[in-house]
Structure formats: structure tokens, C-alpha cells
Amino acid sequence: MTIDRLRREFVDLLGRDGVISEGPQLRTYECDGLTGYRVRPALVVLPTTTAQVADVVRACRRDQVPFVARGSGTGLSGGALPHADGVLIVLARMRSILHIDVENRYLVAEPGVTNAAISAAVAGHDLYYAPDPSSQIVCSIGGNVAENSGGVHCLKYGFTTNHVLGLEFVTADGDVVDLGGPVTDTPGYDLRGVVVGSEGTLGIVTKVAVRLLRRPEAVQTLLADFDTPRQAGDAVAAITSAGIIPAGMEMMDRLAIQACEEDAKVGLNLQCGAVLVVELDGPRAEVEARFLEVQEHCRTAGALNIRIAEDAAERALIWKGRKAAFAAMGRLSRDYFVQDGVIPRTRLGEVLERIDQMSEETGYRVANVFHAGDGNLHPLVLYDGRRPGEAEEAEALSIRIVELCVESGGSITGEHGVGADKACSMPKMFGKDDIALMERVRTAFDPAGLCNPGKLFPTPRLCGERPGPYRPHPLEEAGIAERM
Amino acid sequence: MTSGLDAATTLRPAGLAEAREAVLDSAGPLLFRGAGTKLDWGRPPAGVEVIVDSGAMDQVLAYNPADATVSVQAGIPLAALQQVLAEHDQWLAVDPPGLDAGITVGGVFTADDAGPRRLGYGTIRDLVIGATYVLSDGTIGRTGGFVIKNVAGYDMAKLLCGSLGTLAFVAELVLRVHPRPVASVTLRIPADAGAAARMSTLLAAAPIEPVAADWAEDALWVRLTGHPDAIADQAQRLPGVVGAGEVETLAGDAEDQAWDRLGRALAGADGETVVRAACLPGQLPDAIAGLTGVADETGVAVDVSAHAMLGVLTARLSDGEPAAHAACVAGWRDRLRPLGGHAVVHRRSRDVERVVDVWGPPPSAIGLMRQVKRRLDPDCRCAPGRFVGGI
């Protein structure tokens, strides 16, 4: 009854095409990039202004109806998984770039603007937005804020939290406030800092001011082949010990190389045990001097071959191969779980060997793609969902791998977020009090607990349930998210 | 303010468990203290009964040079930590003033204080990857972890950073450290505020990456660090890029001494009111003109410097009565407001806070800030009244 009344109210507010309440259309929104979890929302709304978002939130609060914000739906932890009795607030129609200030190097965008569109909008001024998650062509800046997205260049440049200057924010009460802003050092608590990465559980971001960086003068990228991941790991250690902070440093093992090569045809050596991609950027003389050192460290660690990207096109191809790694895995295996764990980078060798052992013991192949510089691993556990029991066993292996990361002094997630997927793993990493204190902050923002409930925090109900197996999302099949 | 603290008991815990006991020692108001160099930041807290001093919490807990992370007790002096890190050619990439006054890592964190090189590295906010803290009810919380990349749970460290001890006692911090630059050079280019702002804009548009660019002492000081060949190349191109005529190049001791002097000026001296303000970098000349105008009107002597490419200004007010300083602060705020800027009094001299709010008008999110305070410090024991809006 309540939902029906809300539907009529929202149609008045947003127009008929701003509200979705019919089954087939609702289905489009029942999952994000983590397709094993599916919930059909009671209502979907597509506001186009901050005022409309605030009105929707106020109505939800009045009727005590949960609401979930969603951007492009590319998240890999189910952070935008709808609530069955709630309203899904899709921000994809709020996709204007509102202001570009070249002199002061910032840009203000609505939350539905894609990550890549921001850099594209300022490319003519030699500026760009640094965080570059692999899904950057599709994923929205609002979603990046919710997840504190990183990307392949975050070792040197940091994460979303280091590049967001200010937010316009609709509170769980429906008030509109500013958190930070283009002018630095706003007096007061750094609420912007806690909202970034809060996975939509504190309120809804309706504008984002981001810092823009000057494009580096020079970029150099190399691909180095090694017999074993351990040798590649030695090269990583040598490079970082020499005081070099590469813009990006990525590693792939043999399985991942095969998948990428079939997909992107980068020209990777299919015989080697590991490939390392190292990119340096910055002032030309700095990059030239350091790039020679990097090559030397790779050779000393046992590189079989070093290929240097000749031009921007070849560099782009290498990164295309790397960024396509998850999707390319479909060529090797019908189904797979994508894991996202972090370890101190010095533990890389031993953790990889342990993952190998676990793979042998269980009989499931594990492909490894990772951001080697910051120890962020993406083991992909391959399985065939048609065979009974495989999905459950493969998922159990995937969970054991992330627990291994925590035991090695790392984290349950480096960039995909906790969401619905890992809420039950939070106690592996944090104590009861640690989580309770986060809940106090959540209550400060959202006393009624209506804002994206069931995410991030472990609850008995949540942690007693099992997700379904992986199924391809239409977004993956089409290679693109829905574009309104 | 210090006079108001005379009646308080000082406790010096040596570790996390003792810190918890110290917080629970009384039911009254608490003040958390590091080296004590920023006790006059914010408003004077009311009725402090217990001062929890982190001076005995001065240990490095774990240092992994190869991971570029270090875990410390919050009371460790920054200078002592830098010494430990220097043995492995690393450093904590912050350069706030007060190194020789014994500033602690925890103090720099809770004040989010920074120096010129925040241009290149950000502030300590961007370098803390984990924290352990004690609430006024004795609850111990951990946030983050030991790895640089980590998005598990809320980033509670962001709340604590810059909170001036009004939410919790920060006991331990895990920090990302950086390689020490191989070489450094600084160019001094004579410039008034307008010229400095113009040059900063040109510099920002050029493929030159300074780690600091301060306008002070009627000059723009630009620091370049990195590979010796690279900084030589950039230093050679820089004057052409910004259209500078006269340029002085500093290296070695002369360079260090110059930055030391500029850094000290940020902290101010006894009897001075220090105001930290911010505006968009392009509005620097307007912000400075606004300050000098209002200083003339109020009869206050001002000395101002700026992290020019960030739009962060530090003004030191001397001469004149507290009322004049207060009028100068209020007047400057009026002129910054149309620019979207703000000004906060850091160093309160001679009860200037009785005449003007050190924080200025509260931000639009003050309601949420009060809620956060209420949930984490429900009895309002942590430095009551010290923070924005009387939090």
C-alpha cells in the first residue's frame, strides 16, 4: 500500500518516465556487476535534479521505506543491490558536467557522469582526472565516490578520496549540505572523507567536485616476461626499494596472460609464467633516467624479454589488455569468481605459492591479475556452474583466498568494496568494537537505517543467507551499461 | 588558555591499555596533548579536569621499509620518526612547522597541520592508512589496516584527522612513507602577490611538477625534487615558463635554511594572532588585497605568505589590541566570503577569541558534525567547546 502511494507521488514528482514499477523493466535493475546477488526492487526512480533526489529521500523517510542509490551498476560487491521493499534511486540521468575551472584545476559533475567523460571533457586543456578504475568507460563518478575507487595508477596518484574536493550531499533526512568544496581546508570534521568509500550507506551524493591534474610530460611503459611470478615479484621489490614509485605496476600469471591474449591480442608471451607491466610518468628527464633503472631491475630479477611501448597506441593496447582481464576470463572458463584482496607487497611470493597449493588441493584453476605495486590481488577462481556443487566449492576457495590475505596482514578488499558480498567477512578484519564504532557513525548520518541497509555491516540475517551462483549480467554481455 | 588548565591532572600513559585507563580516570572533561604546540588552536575547551599526554607513547611499533609502511605510537616526535625512516632513505612526507619544538605525529594528525610540501604529497590525511583510537567511554577502535590500498569499512581516520582531539584520543597510527628525494633545488623568483599568482597559474599548466610553491618574503619559492638530471632540466626551463626575469637558485644548506625560515613563519611567534585562510589559487591576489586593506583599516601589522598553487594563506597579525586583531579577522572573512573562501584563527593571542569566533561561520553540514560528535563522545568530554560551532 505504502509503495503504491509512493509510486503515485513519485510519478507526480518525476513524470511517468521517471518511475519504473513494472516487472520486466524492474528486472534490469535487480543486480549490479556482482550478478550472483539479485533482488527486485519495489520501485525504481530516475531523478534528474538534486531537489528531486531530496524529495524522494524525504518521502521514503516519512514512510520509513529503505532506499538504495545506484550509478551505472558496475560495482563488483553488490553495493547497489536493491532492497526488495525499497526504492532504487538511479542517478544515471544526472549526467551533466556543471562547471570546469581550468585555472584552478577542478571540475564539478553530477553523479551519473562517467569517470572517463570527466577526463575527456578537459583533455583539450592537458588536464585529466587521475583515478582510473578498469570500468572507467561505464562507471559513474558517484559510484566511484561511494566505493572510493582506485585504478591501475593509484599507487602513485592515490584513490578517489585523494581527488574529490567536495560533495553536494542529500542526507538521510532529505537535507542538502556541502561537504568540503573546491576551496581547500573547509573548517569542521572531514565528513567528505568518511562519505567517500561509505558505499551509499550515509546519504546520496548529488554533485562531485574533483581535482584535475596536468597530464604528465612523458610516459614510458614496458612489458617484462618472467619464468615465474616469484621472479616478477623480485623485480617489483627491487623497483620499489630503489625509491621508484611507478604510475602503474601490474602483474598477470600464465592463465591470465592466456585469457588477455585471446581477447585483446596484445602480443603477450604465452609461454612465460608471469608478465609485469610497469609504467612511469612525469617530467621527461625524470622518466628517462628512472626507466633505465626499471629495465635494469627487471633484467636482474630474470626477465626473459622486455618490450617497451613505442607509442601511445601501443601503450593503450597494453592497458586495454590488462583492463579487459576480468571479462577475458570468460574465454577460459564458463564461470568464475572475481576476488579482491590486499596483502603487504613483500608477502606476494609466499601468498601466490599458497594460492597455487590451494588451487591444486581443490582442483579449481585460479588466474591471478594484480596491482603488484600496492599488493592488491585479483585471483579469479574458474569453475563450471553447470556441474552441481562447483559454484559453492569455487566460492569457498575464493573466500579462503581473501581470508589468507587478511592473515597475511592485508585487507578483505582493496577496491571493489564490502557491499553485500563481503559484509560477513568484516569480522575477519575488524573486531566487534571497531565495527560498532562505524555503526555509530552510520547512525549519526542515518538514525532510521533506511539508507542502503544490509550493506557493509554484518548482520545475522545477511550472514545466514547464501548467494546464487554467478550469471552473466546483460552489461557484461553487451559490454556496456545501460545508457539512459 | 593555559591558565585554565592549571587545575587539571596530567596523565602520561605509556601504551594503549594505559591510555584507556587515563580516559576513564575521571568522568570530567579531557584534553589530549602531544608536544603542546597547538593548545591555542580552536576555542579554549571548558573545565578540563584531565590532560592525557601522549609523551610516553613515543615508540615505533613496526617498520617495514620494503612495504613503505610504519606503525607508531601517536606521541612519537616527528623528528624522531624521520630519523628512523632516514636510515632506509625514506620519510613521512609532511613538513609542518615545529619540528624542533617536538611536534608529535599524533599532534600533526589531529590538527592536520602541514607545510609547503603538501603541494607534492598532500597532508597527513593522505598518508595515514590505519589508526587505533580511544573514545571517552573507553571503547578502543581500529580503522584501516597496514596496507596502502584498502576500502574495508568506513575510513574513520578521516574523521579523526583535523578533529583537534574532540572525538577521541588517537593512540596509534599506521602511515605510508615515501622514498626520500635523491636531490632538491629551489628557485627564488622575486614577485608581488599578483605576479606570484600569475606565475603559479603558468606553472600549473606546464609539465613541471614542483613539490612546493610558496609566496613569501616578496618572492615565489619553487622547490623541485627528484633525479638530479630531471630537476636540473626543470629548473632550467622554469624561468621561461613563468616569464621570470631575475631568479636565484638555492641548493644544499642554503636551501634547507630558507625553507626552515619560511616554515617557522607559518607557526607565528608569541603575541601574534595566526590566521590560516583558503581561497581558489587564482583568487590569491584578491584575498591578499582584502587582508592588507582590512589591516590598514584596523591598524594591525600583517605578514602573509601562501602555498600559492593550493590557495592556502597564513597571516600573522601583530601590533594592535586584541579587539583590532579580531576586527581584522572578521573583516578579512567578509572579503573572503564572496570568493568562497574562509579563515580560521590558529594561534590565539591575548584572548582574541573573546572578541571573534576563531572558526568563523559553521559549514552547512554542522548538523551532521554535531551528530557525529554526539555518537562518538556522547557526554561531550573530549575538549568540550573547542571545535567548530562550539562542538
Q: Where are the domains of chain A?
A: 2-93, 97-214, 218-327, 333-417
**Low-confidence winner among A3-12, A256-265, B305-314 (lowest mean pLDDT):** A256-265
Which of B232, B260, B288 terminates a domain? The answer is B260
* Confidence (pLDDT) at A464: 65
**pLDDT tens profile B150-164:** 999 999 999 999 999
- C-alpha span between B114 and A271 (Å, rounded): 50
Question: Which of B126, B135, B359 is opposite residue A158, by nearest beta carbon?
Answer: B126
Place of cell 622554469: B238
CATH 1.10.760.10 is right for the domain spanning A2-93: no
The residue among B154, B177, B366 with the most chain A CBs within 10 A of its CB, best to mutate, is: B154
Residue B3 has pLDDT above 80, yes or no: no
Binned at pLDDT 50, 70 and 90, residue A468 comes out as very low
- What are the chain B neighbours of A422 within 8 Å (beta carbons)? 152
Contact A91, A56 (CB under 8 A): no
- Region A37-66: what's the mean pLDDT? 97
CATH for the stretch A333-417: 3.30.70.2740
Number of C-beta neighbours around residue A64 at 10 A: 10
Q: How far apart are CA B206 and CA A126, in angstroms?
A: 9
Band of residue A45 on the pLDDT scale cut at 50, 70, 90: very high
Judge whether residue A171 has pLDDT over 70: yes
pLDDT at A244 over 90: yes
Question: Residue B96 in contact with residue B115, Cβ under 8 Å?
Answer: yes
Rounded to two decimals, the ipTM of the complex is 0.97
Query: Given this model, what pLDDT does residue B239 score?
Result: 96
User: Same domain, yes or no, for B310 and B346?
Assistant: yes
Tell if the CB–CB gap between B201 and A103 is shorter than 8 Å.
yes
A333-417 and A2-93 share a CATH fold: no
- Same domain for B64 and B169? yes
**Which residues on chain B are in Cβ contact (under 8 Å) with A217?**
207
pLDDT computed for residue A322 by the predictor? 83
User: Which residues in chain A touch residue B341, judged by CB atoms under 8 angstroms apart?
Assistant: 183
Average pLDDT value for residue range B172-190? 97
Look at residue A471 and tell me whether its pLDDT is greater than 60.
no
CB nearest to B149's CB, from A288, A342, A440: A342
Q: With cut-offs at 50, 70 and 90, classify the pLDDT of residue A90.
A: very high
* The length of chain B, given as a count of residues: 391
- With CB atoms and an 8 Å threshold, state whether A440 touches B375: yes
Query: B145 and B112 in one domain?
Result: yes
Q: Could you tell me if A440 and B159 are in contact, meaning their C-beta atoms sit under 8 angstroms apart? A: no
pLDDT of residue B347: 80
Q: Provide the grid cell at B119.
A: 603541494
pLDDT band per the 50, 70, 90 thresholds, residue B136: very high
Residue A476: band (very low, low, confident or very high) from pLDDT cuts 50, 70, 90: very low
pLDDT in tens, A215-233: 999 999 999 999 999 899 9
Contact A128, A215 (CB under 8 A): yes
Q: Provide the pLDDT confidence category of residue A475 given band limits of 50, 70 and 90.
A: very low
Residues 6+ apart with CB under 8 A from A10: A18, A19, A43, A45, A56, A59, A87
Chain A residue numbers touching B151 (CB-CB < 8 A): 147-148, 150, 159, 197, 411, 413-418
Q: Which CATH number is correct for A218-327, 3.40.50.150, 3.40.640.10, 3.30.70.2190, 3.40.30.10?
A: 3.30.70.2190
Residue A111's Cβ-side half-sphere holds a number of Cα atoms within 13 Å equal to: 33
> Is B42 in the A-facing interface, judged by CB distances under 8 Å?
no
B100 shares its domain with B123 = yes
Which residue in the set B68, B201, B279 is minimally distant from A240, CB to CB?
A: B68
Count of domains forming chain B:
3
Q: Tell me, yes or no, if B208 comes closer than 8 A to chain A by beta carbon.
A: yes
Q: What is the DSSP string of A256-308?
A: HHHHHHHHH-----TTSSEEEEEEEEESHHHHHHHHHHHHHHHHHTT-SEEEE
Chain A contact for B285, CB < 8 A?
no
Whether residue B48 sits in one domain with residue B152: yes
Which of the listed residues B260, B277, B301 is the one where a domain comes to its end?
B260
Pick the residue from chain A with its C-alpha nearest to B156.
A194
Say which CATH number the domain at B241 has. Answer: 3.30.70.120
The Cβ of residue A407 has, within 10 Å, a number of other Cβ atoms equal to: 13
Query: Do B324 and B374 have their domain in common?
Result: no
Distance CA B246, CA B195 (A): 13
The range of the structural domain enclosing residue B9 comes to 1-180+361-391
Taking the Cβ of residue A211 and every Cβ of chain B, the question of whether any pair is shorter than 8 Å is answered with no
Cα A332 to Cα A255: distance, rounded to the nearest angstrom:
8
- Clarify whether residues B100 and B165 are in a common domain: yes
pLDDT at position B256 over 80: yes
Fold of A97-214: 3.30.465
> At residue B149, does pLDDT exceed 50?
yes
Those of residues 371-430 in A touching chain B at CB distance below 8 A are 371, 374-376, 409-418, 422, 426, 429-430
pLDDT at B151: 96
A16 pLDDT higher than 70: yes
Q: By the CB < 8 Å criterion, does B149 face chain A? A: yes
Tens of pLDDT, residue by residue over A115-162, are: 999 999 999 999 999 999 989 999 999 999 999 999 889 989 999 999
What are the tens digits of pLDDT across the range A447-463?
Answer: 999 999 999 999 877 77
pLDDT in tens, B320-345: 888 999 999 999 999 999 999 999 99
Task: Please indicate, yes or no, whether residues B251 and B283 belong to a single structural domain of this protein.
Answer: no
Which H or E run contains B233? helix B228-242
User: What pLDDT does A65 receive?
Assistant: 98
CA B165 to chain centre: 14
Helix H segments across A274-425?
284-300, 312-323, 325-328, 348-362, 390-407
Q: Are residues B69 and B215 in the same domain?
A: no
A382 CA: distance to closest CA in chain B (Å): 25
Q: What does the pLDDT average to over A255-276?
A: 89
Residue A482 has pLDDT above 70, yes or no: no
Which of B260, B283, B306 is where one domain is finished? Answer: B260
Asked if the model's pLDDT at residue B66 lies above 60, the reply is yes
Do B297 and B240 lie in one domain? The reply is: no
Average pLDDT over residues A339-362: 93
Please report, rounded to a whole number, the percentage of residues in chain A having pLDDT higher than 70. 95
Cα angle: A154, vertex A353, A417; to 5 degrees: 35
- The minimum CA-CA distance between A457 and chain B, rounded to whole Å, is 8
**Do residue B82 and residue B115 come from a single domain?**
yes
Contact between residue A200 and residue A453 where contact means Cβ atoms under 8 Å apart: no
Chain A residues whose CB is inside 8 A of the B207 CB are: 214-217, 283-284
The dihedral built from the CA positions of residue A279, A284, A290 and A293, taken in this order, carries a sign that is positive
Contact B189, B222 (CB under 8 A): yes
User: Would you state the pLDDT for residue A483?
Assistant: 30
Assign residue B163 the CATH number of its domain: 3.30.465.10
> Which pLDDT score, from 0 to 100, does residue A329 have?
86
* Cα separations in angstroms, A162 against A16, A110, A196: 39, 19, 10
| d(C-alpha B26, C-alpha B28), whole Å | 5
Closest CA to A4 of A70, A92, A46, A65: A65
Which cell goes with B162?
583535523
| Residue B99 clears pLDDT 90, i.e. is over it | yes
In B298-357, the residues whose Cβ lies within 8 Å of chain A are 310-312, 339-342, 344
DSSP per residue, A68-94: EEESSS--SS-TTPPPTTSEEEE-TT-
Using a CB-CB cut-off of 8 Å, the residues of chain B touching A162 are: 122, 126
B372-388 CB burial, b ≥16 within 10 A, e <16: bbebbbeeebbbbbbbb
pLDDT tier at A477, thresholds 50, 70, 90 = very low
Mean pLDDT of chain A: 92
Residue B373 pLDDT > 60, yes or no? yes
Do B137 and B3 belong to one domain?
A: yes
B135 touches chain A (CB under 8 A): yes
